[in-house]
A and B are shown apart, each in its own frame.
Chain A
């Protein structure tokens, strides 16, 4: 089974985020980047499916030059090869724009299965997998907690709201958006990191493929306004603890 995993590189979770001077995106001068965590779960599921059913795992990533480090990380964890769709720096796409680039990158691969994370930690559109499925003409299912492969079809466990679940059967080829937590994530081994250096990564220039958006653009990025007036307590840990207990007891009257 040929499995493609679509991953994204995003600013690290503990980043100090500053709005760029033009107010359209981030000032990225001192940002560190990492794999989008939901995509790490998609990768993990792909690796385990390959190990159970055979085949290969190809990791595809649309991002600027730096994103190749995320592809190498996926290769170090066990993916077989990579495809890097190189975006111009600072280019923020909408969900259709990203979907169209990924479609061009993977069409000739004719994969049996494409996995993505549920959403990205930066833009959080939560659409890439579904858009890609529609563009490729593949069936899809989202928020997947479990994947079974049997006889050219998939049986997957979907998460619904309020603690409900549902099994869904769909034909291959298909796209699945994987829910975080589906499996325990692995770490790259030293051997894996060494091997990753020799695994092939194909490079495609987004500009050459043609970037075509779906009409959605960011006008302005800003810090959210606080809707509730919160009291920020200051002092040593002992002082703030004492203040808080006092307030919970006599002001909020909840202790």
Chain B
């Protein structure tokens, strides 16, 4: 019995969310009084496994195979299936990355279990573990339990825990051999690429005015453009605005867009889904303007205005012009 954390690496570089997940794993392991273990999967991962061993797990499994050199859902699911059946962990934790979203539900289904995905906090009491998830894009929270025979499978959202610190005592590293044949793997990935160079770099912007669904129509965008111009701020948006084609994708802030850390971030008509919050939580000061007082954006705002953005934004633009004049 153990808590097993599946670490993610690409080309020998450890994904930072994996270290956060290790902290979550340590909390569960301590609460349940069982050891913390980790696994690194890929090909040529000895160095990464050595690094991981310094961060607290008593044992780190190296799951290596030439068919794991490139990520495929078939290969990763089959390899981890063998590891988990052999080691019988009580809890398996993943970082909630795009890669995990792609293969973990497949892996967990093979055990006749459901994955508790995108968890933002973990509570342990009297050997029962409760997993906190957001519902309705952050408008509500819920505690989830995973019961029944077999392991509990859980993925942790970015920022749910601080990254683990290195320990004085190194854990052991152990190779775990897996059996895979080329016919196990049905998909073939080409080399990753980036689209044409971004012309907008929001990551270095000092001030950002960001607009969300509350703007209702593309025709209303000049309202926030005027505010951005008065402030000398960059214009940004939440995902739905870019999905609709109202602003280019390169202006999107969030987990699938840019990560920003301005001095001040104006969230205009943005409800504050977790995918958006992870992209802007580095902002020093957050101003939220939203008509829904329960919108999760107010949880991260320093200054909140509950009201109609179509009235508030023009008033704010006028006021800023006044003080800047």
Q: Which residues of A contact B (CB under 8 A)?
A: 11, 13-14, 17, 19, 37, 41, 94-97, 99, 121-127, 130-131, 133-135, 139-143, 158-161, 163-171, 179-181, 184, 213-224, 226-228, 230-234, 237-238, 240-242, 244-245, 247-249, 252, 254-255
Contact = CB atoms under 8 A, between A and B. Distances in A.
Contacts of A255: 231, 264, 320, 323
B106 A131 contact: yes
Given A166-B191, A222-B140, A244-B316, A130 B135 contact: no
Nearest to B294: A223
A166 B135 contact: no
Interface stretch (B19-27, B58-66, B166-174, B304-312): B304-312
Contacts of A37: 240
A231 B303 contact: yes
B268 interface: no
A140 B137 contact: no
Given A17-B139, A95-B105, A254-B263, A169 B188 contact: yes
Interface residues of B, number: 93
B114 A230 contact: no
Contact of A181 (B194, B239, B288): B239
Given A232-B304, A244-B316, 11 more contacts: A37-B240, A95-B115, A125-B115, A134-B105, A167-B189, A170-B187, A181-B243, A216-B114, A241-B316, A241-B319, A248-B285
Contacts of A244: 287, 303, 305, 316, 319
A125 B304 contact: no
Interface stretch (B35-43, B47-55, B96-104, B217-225): B96-104
A63 to B, nearest CB: 16
Contacts of B188: 168-170
Contact of B109 (A99, A158, A216, A224): A99
Contacts of A215: 113-114, 146-148, 150, 152
A230 B288 contact: yes
Interface of B: 73-74, 77, 97-98, 101-103, 105-106, 108-110, 112-118, 130, 133-148, 150, 152, 186-195, 198, 207, 213, 231, 239-240, 242-245, 249, 255-258, 263-264, 284-285, 287-288, 292, 294, 296, 298-308, 311-312, 314-316, 318-320, 323
A226 B189 CA distance: 42
Nearest to A222: B141
Q: Which of B150, B187, B284 has the most CB of A within 10 A?
A: B187
A160 B77 CA distance: 19
6 contacts: A126-B117, A163-B257, A167-B189, A168-B187, A226-B299, A240-B312
A184 B189 contact: no
A192 B187 CA distance: 37
A161 B255 contact: yes
Contacts of A131: 105-106, 109, 114
B114 A241 contact: no
B144 A219 contact: yes
